[in-house]
Amino acid sequence: MPAALVTGAASGIGKATAERLRADGFDVLGFDLEDGDLSTREGNQAAVDAALERFGRLDVVVANAGVQHVSPVRDFPEDRWDAIQAILLTSPFLLAKYAWDALTASDAGRFIAVASAHALVASPNKAAYVAAKHGVLGLVKTLALEGLQATAVCPGYVRTPLVEKQIPDQARAHGMSEDAVLEEVILQPHAIKRLIEPEEVANVIAFLAGPGGAAFSGVPVTMDLGWSAR
C-alpha cells in the first residue's frame, strides 16, 4: 500500500486531505502540533522518521501545516515573521530534504506543498505569509529541477479555522466590522464569491498524488475561484 505523510492534519485542509488519501487506499501518517513542532528541524525529522518507521516507505508528502499573522509591515512583530517563515517555508524544505531518498525511491513519489493564491499574488497586511508562499513555489520549482516530482497547490480562501481566526484581525487592520470583512475583504478577490471547502482542496491533492498527477511537476496548481485571473 502506498504511504503518505500529511502535516497539519489535525484541522482544516490537512484533516480533509488525510481522510481523503486514506479513502483512496493510502496508509497515512498525520502529523500536527501534538506530535511535534514543525517549526524546528527536530520536528520535521521526527515527522519523516515516524512515517518511515510505521510504513517502511514514503510515497507522498503533503507539506500543509501553516499559520497566518495579519499586520502592516511597519508594525509586524519580528518574532512572528521568523515563526511564519519557519513553518510555511523552512518546514517544506526540511520535509523534502529528509524524505528525499524515500520519495525518489518510490515509483510514484510526490511532494505536494499546500501553498496559496498568495504564492502568486500579494495582499496587504500579510507580508510574512505572502513572502513565504512565494518562496514555497520557488522551492517546488527547484525540487522539480533537481529530480523530485513536486507541485504547489494554490487555493483561494478556504473555509477553515485559519481563515475564521483572521476575521477579527482583518476587521482591526481595515477598521471595519467583522461582518463586513468576509464580504468585502476575504471574498473581494474571488471572481466567484464563495469560500472553497477543505474537501475540494483534498480532491485536488488526491488527484496530484494519484495517476492523474503523473505529469505535474515544478508548477503551481491554482484553484482560486478566479482570483489570479485579474
Ligand X SMILES: NC(=O)c1ccc[n+]([C@@H]2O[C@H](COP(=O)([O-])OP(=O)(O)OC[C@H]3O[C@@H](n4cnc5c(N)ncnc54)[C@H](O)[C@@H]3O)[C@@H](O)[C@H]2O)c1
Q: CB–CB of 140/111 below 8 Å? A: yes
Exactly one of 65, 120, 130, 206 binds ligand X (CB under 6 A); which one? 65
Q: At what angle do helices 127-146 and 78-85 cross, to 10 degrees?
A: 30
Question: Near ligand X by CB under 6 A, which window of 4-12, 103-111, 140-148, 214-222?
Answer: 4-12
Active site residue 98: no
Three cell numbers written together for 227: 482570483
Query: DSSP readout, 110-171?
Result: EEEEE--GGGTS--TTBHHHHHHHHHHHHHHHHHHHHT--EEEEEES-BSSHHHHTHHHHHH
* Catalytic residue (one of 26, 55, 129, 227): 129
- Please compute Rg for the chain using Cα positions: 17
Residue 79 touching ligand X (CB under 6 A):
no
Nearer to ligand X, 65 or 221 (CB): 65
Nearer to ligand X, 39 or 217 (CB): 39
Cα separations (Å) of 135 from 34, 119, 152, 164, 213? 26, 7, 11, 24, 22
Residue 8 touching ligand X (CB under 6 A):
yes
Residue 67 touching ligand X (CB under 6 A):
yes
Quick one: which of 117, 66, 149, 107 has its CA closest to 230? 117
Exactly one of 2, 18, 48, 66 binds ligand X (CB under 6 A); which one? 66
**What is the spatial distance between Cα 77 and Cα 32, in angstroms, rounded to a whole number?**
24
By Cβ distance, which residue is nearest to ligand X? 12
Q: Which of the residues 140 through 199 are near ligand X (CB under 6 A)?
A: 155, 157-158, 160-163
Exactly one of 4, 21, 32, 94 binds ligand X (CB under 6 A); which one? 32
CB of 173 to ligand X, least distance (A): 17
Nearer to ligand X, 14 or 135 (CB): 14
Which residues have a catalytic role annotated? 129
Q: Could you list the residues that contact ligand X (CB under 6 A)? A: 8, 10-14, 32-33, 37-39, 64-67, 87, 114, 116, 155, 157-158, 160-163
